[in-house]
C-alpha cells in the first residue's frame, strides 16, 4: 500500500464518521415512526370493554377501561359497548280470543361485562338484530296469546311482567341482561275498539241505574220507617188517653184562659147573660 492508498483510506474513515450520527438519527426516526404506525397501545373508553384477538382468536381476558398495550401485528383489540342501551320494537300478535293486537315495547339491556368476549365470539357486534329483536317478537306473541284482548288492557301490569320475565330468561342465555321492560302501547282493530267503547258505555249506564235504584230504595225505606214511628207514637198516645186525662186537659185549658183574662168583663149588647169561663167546671171540682 502506497502513500496515496493510505490517504484515501483515511478520508473514507473520516467521511463515514461524519455520516454516522445522521444515519443513526434516521434509523431511530424510522423506528419511532414505525412504532407509532403500528399502534402498540389501545384505549378502552368509559362503558366499554376490549376483546383481545391473537391473530383473530378471541382470548379469555377482557380489557377494562383505560390504556392498554398490545403486541403489534399479532394482537388486535375489538371494542364492545357494555352500557345500558334502549331498543323499541313493534310486534304484531293475536290474543286468545283471536283479536289482532299491535304492540310497541321498549327494552333496556346491557351486555354482561365479563362475558363480552363470549358475546363477541358467539354473536358479534350485531347482537341486537340477531338476538334481541327476534326474542322480543317471539315473547310478545307467546304472552299475548295467553290473554284476551280485554285482559291485555285491564291486566296490563301482569302482561308486562310476564313479558319481562320471559325475555330476561331468553336473553341471559346469550349473556345479555334485561334492565327494564315496558309496554308503550297496544293497538286493536277499529271494530274491537268500538265494541269496547259500547260496552263501557252500557256498563256506566247500568251502574248509574243501579245507583238510582239503590237511592230510591233507601228513600222508600226511610219513609216507611218514619211512618211506622209516627203510627207507633199515635198508638201509644191513644193507649194512654183516659177520662181523668181528658178532665185534666180541660182544667189546664181553663186555667190558661183565666191567666190570660185582664179582669174586664166583656161588653154585651142586646141582653143576655155574662159568660164566665169554666165556672161550672170549677164547681164540679
pLDDT at residue 282, rounded to an integer: 45
Name the residue among 91, 79, 184 with its Cα closest to residue 132.
91
**How many residues comprise the chain?**
285
Q: What is the pLDDT of residues 64-82, one digit of tens each?
A: 999 998 888 888 899 999 9
CATH fold of 85-188, please? Tetrahydropterin Synthase; Chain A (3.30.479)
Distance CA 253, CA 273 (A): 22
Write out the three cell numbers for 17. 464518521
**pLDDT level of residue 41 (50, 70, 90 thresholds):** confident
Is the distance from CB of 64 to CB of 79 less than 8 angstroms?
A: no
**pLDDT level of residue 279 (50, 70, 90 thresholds):** very low
63 or 275, which is more confident: 63
Q: Taking the domains of the chain in order of start, what are their residue ranges?
A: 3-80, 85-188
CA distances from 201 to 148, 195, 256 (A): 20, 10, 68
pLDDT at residue 207, rounded to an integer: 78
The angle formed by the CA atoms of residues 174, 179 and 185, to the nearest 5 degrees, is 105
Q: pTM for the whole thing?
A: 0.57
CA distances from 205 to 151, 190, 192, 225 (A): 22, 23, 20, 30
Q: What is the pLDDT of residues 208-263, one digit of tens each?
A: 778 878 888 888 888 888 888 777 777 766 666 666 666 767 777 777 776 766 66
Distance CA 33, CA 75 (A): 19
Is the distance from CB of 58 to CB of 120 less than 8 angstroms?
A: yes
> Residue 170: how many CB atoms within 10 A of its CB?
18
DSSP 274: P
Distance CA 85, CA 161 (A): 20
H-assigned helices in the chain: 3-38, 116-122, 127, 133-144, 149-154, 156-172, 190-240, 243-260, 279-284
Is the distance from CB of 159 to CB of 152 less than 8 angstroms?
A: yes
Amino acid at each position: 500500500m502506497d502513500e496515496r492508498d493510505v490517504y484515501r483510506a483515511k478520508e473514507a474513515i473520516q467521511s463515514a464518521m461524519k455520516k454516522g450520527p445522521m444515519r443513526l438519527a434516521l434509523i431511530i426516526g424510522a423506528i419511532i415512526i414505525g412504532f407509532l404506525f403500528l399502534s402498540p397501545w389501545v384505549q378502552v373508553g368509559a362503558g366499554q370493554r376490549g376483546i383481545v384477538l391473537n391473530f383473530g382468536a378471541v382470548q379469555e381476558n377482557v380489557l377494562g377501561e383505560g390504556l392498554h398495550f398490545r403486541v403489534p401485528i399479532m394482537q388486535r383489540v375489538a371494542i364492545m359497548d357494555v352500557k345500558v342501551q334502549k331498543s323499541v320494537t313493534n310486534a304484531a300478535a293475536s290474543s286468545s280470543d283471536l283479536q289482532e293486537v299491535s304492540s310497541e315495547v321498549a327494552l333496556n339491556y346491557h351486555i354482561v361485562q365479563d362475558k363480552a368476549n363470549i358475546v363477541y365470539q358467539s354473536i358479534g357486534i350485531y347482537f341486537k338484530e340477531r338476538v334481541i329483536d327476534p326474542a322480543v317478537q317471539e315473547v310478545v306473541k307467546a304472552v299475548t296469546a295467553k290473554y284476551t284482548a280485554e285482559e291485555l288492557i285491564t291486566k296490563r301490569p301482569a302482561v308486562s311482567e310476564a313479558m319481562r320475565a320471559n325475555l330476561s330468561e331468553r336473553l341471559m342465555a346469550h349473556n345479555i341482561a334485561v334492565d327494564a321492560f315496558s309496554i308503550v302501547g297496544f293497538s286493536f282493530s277499529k271494530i274491537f275498539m268500538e265494541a269496547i267503547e259500547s260496552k263501557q258505555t252500557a256498563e256506566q249506564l247500568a251502574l248509574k241505574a243501579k245507583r238510582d235504584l239503590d237511592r230510591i230504595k233507601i228513600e222508600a225505606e226511610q219513609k216507611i220507617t218514619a211512618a211506622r214511628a209516627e203510627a207507633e207514637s199515635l198508638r201509644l198516645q191513644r193507649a194512654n188517653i183516659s177520662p181523668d186525662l181528658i178532665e185534666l186537659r180541660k182544667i189546664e185549658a181553663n186555667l190558661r184562659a183565666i191567666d190570660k183574662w185582664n179582669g174586664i168583663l166583656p161588653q154585651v149588647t142586646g141582653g143576655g147573660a155574662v159568660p164566665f169561663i169554666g165556672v161550672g167546671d170549677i164547681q164540679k171540682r
